Amino acid sequence: MTDERPKYLQIVDDLRRKIASGELPPGARLPSRPEIMRDYGVSNTVALRVGEILKAEGLAEARAGAGTFVRGRPTRQKMTRAFTLRLEMPGSSGPDEMERRGHRIWSYDSRTTVAPSDIRERLALPEATGVEDVVRTAYVYSRDDEPVMLSTSWEPLALTRGTPIVMPEDGPHVGVADRMLSIGVVIDGCTELVEARTGEVEECAGLKIPPRSVVFAIERTCYAQGRPVQTADIVLSAERYVLEYGEPVRSR
């Protein structure tokens, strides 16, 4: 054996090859930690690392007590972003686009707070004075009873204070545009900044995907006549979703 590389990499490579070749098809059980230790003659440290790497690469999935299994790639859902925005534009009512596609709000948590500096910038808020000036709402969206999207929205209290829609979940209005319209704020513009990166541990845990999976992180800001009226941070798995932007094709 003239291989200079670390043992754990050699083993990972070997298993990766077996997965790619189909020798270990999706669902197949990978060797357990003790088995790796025996088969390859290594310590638990190495066997442990092998599992961690395969999980991080999204190739394997571990279930405590059961074993480690080859992961079947999920079919990617299409998430039509521009379309969402359009449907949420003034006049819409009833379930918004998210719900129409089988997504439901799994949980949410609203509270008033002092906006952090990056949010202040996005909402064009003045210097912080220590006074609570935004409503922060953390949503978890689900599909088929699985969490699939995390969203944290921020709305300036200056806009909503004293209105019936201070707390997003109060009342019948669904979707930002609809809610804002009900207090006379017409949302007429929206931008999304799309970032892709490996998910933080908590994000991946919240989405029930392997740690460090690739995720989309979308920064969405809605405007009314040029003034930002709501901004949100949206996180979703890049393995499960493709984002669709652009003009929907009309006649087809």
Cα–Cα distance list, 118 to 46, 125, 150, 235, 236 (Å)? 41, 10, 18, 17, 21
- Nearest-approach distance from CB 197 to a second copy, in angstroms: 6
Q: Does 1 bind DNA (CB under 7 A)?
A: no
Instruction: Decide whether 16 or 104 has the Cβ nearer to DNA.
Output: 16
Give the rounded distance of the alpha carbon of 35 from its chain centre: 35
Q: Does 42 bind DNA (CB under 7 A)?
A: yes
Give the C-alpha separation, 212 to 197, whole Å: 9
Question: Segment near a second copy (CB under 8 A), from 90-98, 131-139, 142-150, 244-252?
Answer: 244-252
Q: Which entry of DNA, a second copy, none binds 238, CB below 5 to 8 A by partner kind?
A: a second copy
- Nearest-approach distance from CB 10 to DNA, in angstroms: 8
Q: Which entry of a second copy, DNA, none binds 140, CB below 5 to 8 A by partner kind?
A: none
Dig out the tokens for 125 from the structure: 């808020």
Instruction: Decide whether 134 or 222 has the Cβ nearer to a second copy.
Output: 222
Q: Please list every residue from 63 through 92 that binds a second copy, using CB under 8 A.
A: 76, 78, 81-82, 85
Q: Does 32 bind DNA (CB under 7 A)?
A: yes
* Bridge partners, 63 (sequence order): 67
Query: Is 212 in a helix, a strand, or coil?
Result: coil
Q: Using an 8 Å Cβ cutoff, are 99 and 87 in contact?
A: no
Give the C-alpha separation, 102 to 112, whole Å: 29
Size of the site for a second copy (CB under 8 A): 48
Size of the site for DNA (CB under 7 A): 28
Instruction: Decide whether 153 or 237 has the Cβ nearer to DNA.
Output: 237
Dihedral sign of CA atoms 42, 47, 49, 51 in order: positive
Instruction: Decide whether 32 or 77 has the Cβ nearer to DNA.
Output: 32
CB atoms within 10 A of CB 86: 15
Q: Please list every residue from 174 through 213 that binds a second copy, using CB under 8 A.
A: 188-198, 200-202, 211-212
In the β-sheet with 67-70, what is the strand arrangement from edge to edge?
A: 29-30, 67-70, 60-63
Give the C-alpha separation, 139 to 25, whole Å: 36
Q: Does 165 bind a second copy (CB under 8 A)?
A: no
Give the C-alpha separation, 177 to 175, whole Å: 6
Instruction: Decide whether 94 or 248 has the Cβ nearer to a second copy.
Output: 248
Dig out the tokens for 143 from the structure: 């599909």
- Give me Rg for the CA atoms of the chain: 23
Which residues are at the interface with a second copy (CB under 8 A)?
9, 12-13, 16, 53, 56-58, 76, 78, 81-82, 85, 188-198, 200-202, 211-212, 214-216, 223, 225-226, 238-239, 242-252
**Residue ranges in contact with DNA by CB under 7 A:** 6-9, 30, 32-35, 37, 41-46, 48-49, 51-52, 55, 62-68
